[in-house]
């Protein structure tokens, strides 16, 4: 059981380049999330999805797009990389339904992105 898999692990981009961060989960979870982690800022939610075909914005969505065509995959696209997007990005998934213990989130290992 692989859990949540993120690729790539590291990436260096030039300003203005675009890229897609991949995230896949094999736990049949309905809910998926993208976070960025910056020193002193904790984790901030970028976008999330409650099921295939449904996405919504989180706290810091600007400069990022997502789509959810399948239950398993939730890619994050950087449209035009900026130095402010230098960060560590985490994908997470959850069975869903916050009113029970099912909103426990399972995290991938992260993608470390530098924009130069």
Partner 1 sequence: SQQGEEDPQALSIQEGENATMNCSYKTSINNLQWYRQNSGRGLVHLILIRSNEREKHSGRLRVTLDTSKKSSSLLITASRAADTASYFCATTSVISQGGKLIFGQGTELSVKP
Which residue ranges make up the site for partner 1 (CB under 8 A)? 4, 31, 33, 35, 40-45, 48-50, 56, 58-59, 90, 92, 94, 96-99, 101-110
Minimal distance in Å, beta carbon 77 to partner 1?
20
3-state secondary structure of 59: coil
Closer by beta carbon to partner 1, 26 or else 56: 56
Closer by beta carbon to partner 1, 75 or else 96: 96
Contact 53, 70 (CB under 8 A): no
Q: How far apart are CA 52 and CA 109, in angstroms?
A: 23
Question: Quick one: residue 110, left, alpha or beta (phi over 0 = left, psi -120 to 50 = alpha)?
Answer: left
Minimal distance in Å, beta carbon 24 to partner 1?
14
Minimal distance in Å, beta carbon 2 to partner 1?
13
């Amino acid at each position: 059981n692989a859990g949540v898999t993120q690729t790539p692990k590291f990436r260096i981009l030039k300003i203005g380049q675009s890229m897609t961060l991949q995230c896949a989960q094999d736990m049949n979870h309905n809910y998926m999330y993208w976070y960025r982690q910056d020193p002193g800022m904790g984790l901030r939610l970028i976008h999330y999805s409650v099921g295939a075909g449904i996405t919504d914005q989180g706290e810091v969505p600007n400069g990022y797009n997502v789509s959810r065509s399948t239950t398993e995959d939730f890619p994050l696209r950087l449209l035009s990389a900026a130095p402010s997007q230098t960060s560590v990005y985490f994908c997470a998934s959850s069975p869903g339904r916050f009113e029970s213990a099912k909103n426990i989130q399972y995290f991938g290992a992260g993608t470390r992105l530098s924009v130069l």
